[in-house]
Amino acid sequence: MAHHIHLPDTQGKLSPYTLVGHTPVKPKAGAKFSRIVYSAAHVVSDPKASIDPWIDCAIDWDATIAFRERLWSLGLGVAEAMDTAQRGMGLDWPTSLELIKRSIDASKRHPGALVASGCGTDHLDLDQVKNIDEVIKAYDQQMEAIEKAGGKLIIMASRALTRVAKSPADYERVYDHILRQAKEPVILHWLGDMFDPALTGYWGDKDTDKATQTVLSVIRAHASKVDGIKMSLLDKDKEIHARRGLPAQGGIDGKGVRMYTGDDFNYAELIAGDGVGAAPVNQHSDALLGIFDAIAPAASAAMAELADGNLDKFHEILGPTVPLSRHIFKAPTRFYKTGVVFMAWLGGHQSHFTMVGGQQSTRSLMHFVELFKLADQANLIEDPDLAINRMKNLLSIHGF
């Protein structure tokens, strides 16, 4: 049965739209992937809380954990308390730690479930940070708390470090300390300035080629303590170049340090790989992606096909999701979380479309209209009747 809805164009005129997509086939339960796959998961706000949303943070814990259980059921790992969860954009450190603890506890009910948690310095007051030692102390504080909870670390990029570092040597000093202290191999996190302008010049240089040499030097010096690095520069060539420079020894199993793609524009080809690298794990990218929150069923199905050697089917499933991802992550890229939460609401995975910090207001109605169409064309509308009803509600509160 065809499904229809009237959607506005840029002139404000309503026109009929007929849905064309179908729901992607989910892999069988227990499907094994040939890549390590983390989805950076969003948090579900509590719209019923009596707070000031721009100032305070209220989380619907049941809905937030239920979404993570959905990701685990699809075979995806959870990258917890990352920027997708609005870390540093409404989600403060005390709430982040509570989220990490709850997620780790919930994962124990799902044998084999992967969880890695963001560790940063976001509890610091940037205006008060004076030196590198304060940054190191801040990292130590969060590392200790997460490791005490039994968590695997993702060492997030630090706004405070960007502010006080004067050279690549300062980054080397900080990361040398972190990696010496870490109990288990960690994932390093390089978030480009398109995601967070406060991270411009990370690793001590605005020239990303020079910055890449600094981070590779850090990794080579501590290969046994680095599981991998997540790169979010939205530049596949830079990621491939860095991937080929990763050590062939070290990592979580001694067989090499991994590249975890954070490229929400080019993830399909980066995950598929090119067969070039000193070790098998250097010949492709694993995944730590915010977009996998929004396209979880397709991501799961595609990864299962890749594991079975069906490369064409892998691209057939993921290919249509790329235009949707590029739309969600369009500039200003830091507002991509709004599209991720919109997709969760559209799919019935939360009962409302509100966000921590009121961030649902960062994109326009026409952005959501286009996102609805792209979700349909990418075969991501799981319940057409529900999605159409919710889209009509959104149009109504915007005056249609």
What is the per-residue pLDDT across 324-348, written as a single tens digit (0 to 9) for each?
999 999 999 999 999 999 999 999 9
Q: Which residue has the tokens 């506005």?
A: 8
Residue from 386, 392, 269, 376 nearest 324 by CA = 376
Note the residue count of the chain. Answer: 400
d(CA 295, CA 349) in angstroms, rounded, equals 12
Copy the structure tokens of residue 230. Answer: 């997540």
Q: What Rg do the C-alpha atoms of the chain give, in angstroms?
A: 21
Interacting residues of 325 by C-beta distance below 8 A, sequence separation 6+? 264, 265, 267, 291, 294, 295
d(CA 97, CA 191) in angstroms, rounded, equals 21
Domains by residue range for the chain, with CATH? 1-25+34-119+288-400 (3.20.20.70), 127-284 (3.20.20.70)
Query: What integer pLDDT is reported at residue 359 of this predicted model?
Result: 95
E strands in the chain:
4-8, 14-18, 37-40, 77-80, 115-119, 152-155, 186-191, 226-232, 258-261, 286-289
What residue ranges of the chain have pLDDT lower than 70? none
d(CA 254, CA 235) in angstroms, rounded, equals 28
d(CA 224, CA 226) in angstroms, rounded, equals 6
Decide if 252 contacts 291 (C-beta within 8 A): no
User: Interior CA angle at 308 toward 307 and 313, to 5°?
Assistant: 95
Residue from 369, 398, 390, 345 nearest 17 by CA = 369
What is the pTM for the complete model shown? 0.96
Query: What integer pLDDT is reported at residue 24 of this predicted model?
Result: 83
Decide if 166 contacts 129 (C-beta within 8 A): no
